[in-house]
């Protein structure tokens, strides 16, 4: 069985949310830091795939300059909806999340 490569650009990289700044009623700026202390090393125009494991994910463009050190920022505008995927019952993944983040029990609806 192939092993995952931790150096892969596709490997998840956990982050710490440092700050959330409300810009407008529809827009927020999220400041994040990679948990391992490394830099994102992005280029202008690149995006990150933001995931809440077992719940949802979305591609978000990086808003901060690559020259910033110690953190990166994501500007997010509230438009449309993200699909929410319930975690498979067999894995019990929902039990690892706080009650407020647990996926709904198969409602067939999308999140706001």
Give yes or no for residue 105 having a pLDDT over 60. Answer: no
- CA 64 to each of CA 18, 51, 83, 93: distance values in angstroms, whole numbers, following the listed order: 14, 19, 26, 33
- Positive/negative CA dihedral, 16, 19, 25, 27: negative
pLDDT band with cut points at 50, 70 and 90 for residue 100: very low
Helices (H) and strands (E) in the chain, counts: 0, 5
The C-alpha atoms of residue 7 and residue 32 are separated, in whole angstroms, by: 20
Domains of the chain: total: 1
- The residue to which tokens 């202390």 are assigned: 37
Asked if residue 102 belongs to a domain, the reply is: no
Q: What is the pLDDT of residues 36-65, one digit of tens each?
A: 999 999 999 999 999 888 888 899 999 999
CATH number at residue 55: 2.40.30.10
State the pLDDT at residue 97: 40
pTM value is 0.66
């Amino acid at each position: 069985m192939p092993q995952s490569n931790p150096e892969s650009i596709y490997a998840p990289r956990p982050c710490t949310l440092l700050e959330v700044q409300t810009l407008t009623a529809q827009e927020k700026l999220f400041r994040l830091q990679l948990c391992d202390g490394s830099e994102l090393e992005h280029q202008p125009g690149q995006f990150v795939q933001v995931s809440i494991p077992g719940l949802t994910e979305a591609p978000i463009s990086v808003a901060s300059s690559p020259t910033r050190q110690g953190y990166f920022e994501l500007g997010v505008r509230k438009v449309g909806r993200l699909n929410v995927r319930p975690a498979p019952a067999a894995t019990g993944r929902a039990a690892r999340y706080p009650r407020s983040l647990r996926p709904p029990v198969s409602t067939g609806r999308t999140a706001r």
